[in-house]
Amino acid sequence: MPAAGSLTQLVFECSDASSLAEFWRKVLDLGPPTGDPGWLTLEWEPVGRLSFHEVEGYRAPVWAEGSGGQQIHFDLLVEDFDASCAQVLSAGAQPLTDVLDPGPEAWRVFADPQGHPFCLVSVPE
């Protein structure tokens, strides 16, 4: 059976599209965003587009509370785990966990400035 469609973009709901686009631009080393102030887009080859949509009354997802509040997150495979942790912290990420499974299979959960969780991982899972 053929696929129903292909992924064209990931969209983050947020309260400030400009600051969130800038955070992800820095973390993923992408070009400047395009679009309107309330809907900005970064071109990201693995996905197509990473977009940021301002919504009134935005509420950040809640990490790992079991209530369904975390919604979705993604993992970023990194080559230098410690350097990548420092890079996302410098860009404005907030750590949500300590380093888990330290060593060759290290991973850590962070939140972007609007509260969307993401993980840095040293091996694909």
pLDDT tens-place string over residues 24-39 = 999 999 999 999 999 9
Distance CA 78, CA 82 (A): 9
Nearest 5°: phi and psi at 81?
Answer: -55, -50
Contact 113, 52 (CB under 8 A): no
pLDDT in tens, 86-114: 999 999 999 999 988 877 888 899 999 99
Question: What pLDDT does 1 receive?
Answer: 78
pLDDT value of position 72: 73
Q: Give the pLDDT of residue 74.
A: 82
Give the predicted TM-score (pTM) of the model: 0.84
Residue 25 has φ and ψ, to the nearest 5°, of: -60, -45
Mean pLDDT of the chain: 88
